[in-house]
A and B are shown apart, each in its own frame.
Chain A
Amino acid sequence: MDLRLTDEQQALRAEAAAFCAGVRPLLEADPEWRRQGMLSDGDSSAVNRALGDAGWIGMSWPPELGGRGLSRLDATLVEEVFGYHWLPLSSYLLSYKTIGAALERFAAPALVEQLLPPITRGELVFCQGFSERGAGTDLGSLTTRAVRQGDSFVVDGHKIWTSGAHLADWIYLAVRTDPDLPKHRGISVLVAPIDTPGIEVRSFATLGGGTLCEVFLDAVEIPAENLVGELNGGWAVLMHTLDFERITAEKLGGVAWLLDRLEERVGSSAQLARLRGELTAARLLSFRAADTLDRGLPGSATSAMAKLSGARLMQRAADAVVDLLGLGGLGEGADAALEGRAAGLYRGSVGSTIAGGTTEVQQLVIARRGLGLR
């Protein structure tokens, strides 16, 4: 085991840091950037375009699809740098890291060639229609119905907690295609342009400082060739998506920035050292999870460990940093202590143990898939 970064990885991270410094004016101009406490929920079309122009989206995809041919681990190392600079990453994470990973693995070649190159250029942004009012943690209970009619599926239903639907160009939908099969076996995945007739998006504010959306689907006609993976085989596609979603190095980058700035302000302490040690472990768990997926090994348990360690650390770090700053830690805005990020993270990190699978789900995945408990 050699957990040192290679010279190439260090150079890649330096290149990413230089890019982040270059887009700082775009960030400063965006009022949401200041109040967004949940890194993965930050939305910015301008930043996503800049990421695409600089070749940062789709790093692990082959050059013929617009990527750099790097590993998922390399991409994860870069995402940590993006997080350190508090880049709004919702579009990037959804379009490349999670949905893009599933498209690359499960979509038909024509769909891959149609969708992945514009994603890498920052021109095509996806949102993810998974959860429903009655199917959150129990995603297998989803009821959004897709009925085959000729060469199309007709979709009716209602999705909720959908990040970035108000900015998205396409939607990635989990739908029920056979209600008579056991609940995990009658699910399929479809993709469609968000402006397809019958799709309506409404957004609402969240504690993190950004928005989430709900998506209403009323007789939405989606061509059958937009099916991702096998008909009624969508559960495997969804789980693959989640394995990638649960590697959250960008959040750890944000925590690292916060701890660095805190130490500059109040000096070192045992409490700060413990948080830094926990951060070291969480980073390594994330990098191991990416490496596991790179090697094509079962990644559910390692991704769940990455997710859970990062989510808990965010909450612990936000709480501790606000405490250590005292009244100043409650301040928000550019002039506040640590640019208001402590208070923002305190708000936003509430979502870290809920979004992408709750703590309780991660624990079950670790226990059952990792430890073999039955």
Chain B
Amino acid sequence: MRFDIAPELELFAESVRGVLAEWEPLPETVLGEWADSRDDALAARLAALGWAELWADAELLGPAVAGAVELGRAVAPLHLLDEATLGAPLAIGGRVRHGEGQSKAAFALPAGGLAHCPIGEAKHEPSLDSVGTILVEQRHEQRLEDAEERWRAWNAATVAYLAGLADSAVARSVEHVGSREQFGAPLAALPAVQALLADAALARDGLLLAAWSLAAPDADATDVLAWAGGACREATMIAQQAHGAIGFAMESGLHRAFRRAKTVQVWADASGPW
């Protein structure tokens, strides 16, 4: 076991951060209305780094995990995970995320199956998050032979993304409570605040280690993902609490990680075999 991050992984993470630094998130949308943060230009820039190929090569899962953590830190759109691992936007039941304008979706089938199906007529479904949910009918199945490998990659990518989300929430919170003063001292000096952020940091560190463990090709990601959504949700909820009213204001942007964590958790739960 080695717990230090190898220089080549840090180098790839730096490349992903470089791509994300040029990305402009979707401008604020109106809550309760349909919104899609899909960004094909960002996808193209990631593809130039070999993003999708990483997930198909057992020897390259380390950089793949490193990249997914960075996407989570930036709250990047989820189709970047789905298309790199499943080959198309994810569809579960009658819902597709980020599927608007796409020719096909990757439908979850019972017992861990997966099928690429064309997207026909679609109806927008406003959602908690800007994942462009559309309601569709599944037309016919092109069952994928490599469904198990693809789901494993998607599970690992999703755990790593959740780890990045939690990490960004904790980092923002530590910065906030160190600078925001109440009762004549930084919030960071209050034991109650320290306890809150300790719990968030515990979730964050567990998520990061769990994500890195999935860089091993034989590691089972199903159980880890079943836990990871809730752990990340807890970290982002704590971040909201630590920020107080400013985090509740849309202009803070903190809500992006909060809403995304719950969205990823629910989609992950819906993808599970239970």
Contact = CB atoms under 8 A, between A and B. Distances in A.
Contact of A1 (B2, B207, B228): B2
**Highest count of chain A CB atoms <10 Å: which of B5, B223, B224:** B223
Interface string A240-277: 00000000000000000000000000001110011111
Interface in A284-311: 284-285, 287-288, 291-292, 305, 308-309
B258 interface: no
B202 A373 contact: no
Contact of A3 (B195, B205, B216): B216
B1 A274 contact: no
Contact of B195 (A4, A268, A275, A360): A360
A273 B274 contact: yes
Interface in B1-16: 1-6, 9
Contacts of B3: 1, 3, 287-288, 291-292
B186 A291 contact: no
Given A280-B210, A367-B198, A374-B186, A270 B269 contact: yes
Interface string A330-374: 000000000000000000000000000000101111111011111
B195 A364 contact: yes
B168 interface: no
Interface residues of B, number: 47
A373 B193 contact: yes
Contacts of A73: 1
Nearest to A366: B198
Interface in B216-242: 216, 219, 222-228, 230-231
Contacts of B178: 373
B206 A281 contact: yes
A59 to B, nearest CB: 16
Nearest to B5: A1
Interface string A127-153: 000000000000000000000000000
Interface in B127-142: none
B71 interface: no
A366 B62 CA distance: 28
B223 A373 contact: no
Contacts of B207: 281
B268 to A, nearest CB: 11
Please report whether the interface of chain B is mostly helix, strand, loop or mixed according to DSSP: helix
A273 B210 contact: no
Contacts of B228: 277
Contacts of A371: 170, 174, 194, 197-198, 201
Given A4-B1, A273-B227, A284-B213, A367 B194 contact: yes
A9 interface: yes
A278 interface: yes
A280 to B, nearest CB: 5
A287 B186 CA distance: 34
A2 B210 CA distance: 11
Nearest to A370: B201
A5 B231 CA distance: 25
Contacts of A363: 194-195, 198-199
Interface in B58-92: 62
Contacts of A362: 198
A6 to B, nearest CB: 7
B209 A285 contact: yes
A3 B209 contact: yes
A268 B198 contact: no
Interface of A is mostly: helix
B49 interface: no
Nearest to B272: A270
B188 interface: yes
A305 B269 CA distance: 26
A4 to B, nearest CB: 5
A278 B212 contact: no
A369 to B, nearest CB: 10
Nearest to B205: A305
Given A282-B206, A363-B199, A277 B227 contact: yes
Contacts of B206: 278, 281-282, 284-285, 305, 309
A3 B5 CA distance: 11
Contacts of A374: 186, 188-189
B215 interface: yes
Nearest to B194: A367
B195 A305 contact: no
B203 to A, nearest CB: 9
Contacts of A372: 174
B197 A367 contact: yes
Contacts of B212: 1, 3
Contact of B227 (A4, A281, A367): A281
A81 B6 CA distance: 29
A273 B226 contact: yes
A273 B1 contact: no
B209 A284 contact: yes
B210 A305 contact: no
Given A1-B4, A9-B1, A305-B202, A280 B213 contact: yes
Given A270-B272, A371-B201, A281 B1 contact: no
Given A308-B202, A371-B174, 12 more contacts: A2-B1, A2-B2, A9-B1, A270-B269, A274-B223, A275-B227, A276-B226, A281-B209, A308-B198, A309-B206, A364-B198, A373-B197
17 contacts: A1-B62, A3-B2, A3-B209, A270-B272, A277-B210, A280-B210, A280-B213, A281-B207, A281-B209, A282-B206, A285-B206, A288-B3, A291-B1, A309-B206, A366-B201, A373-B177, A373-B193
Interface of B: 1-6, 9, 62, 170, 174, 177-178, 186, 188-189, 191, 193-195, 197-199, 201-202, 205-207, 209-210, 212-213, 215-216, 219, 222-228, 230-231, 269, 272-274
> What are the 5 tightest A-B residue pairs by CB atom distance, in nearest-first order?
A277-B227, A281-B206, A367-B194, A273-B226, A284-B209
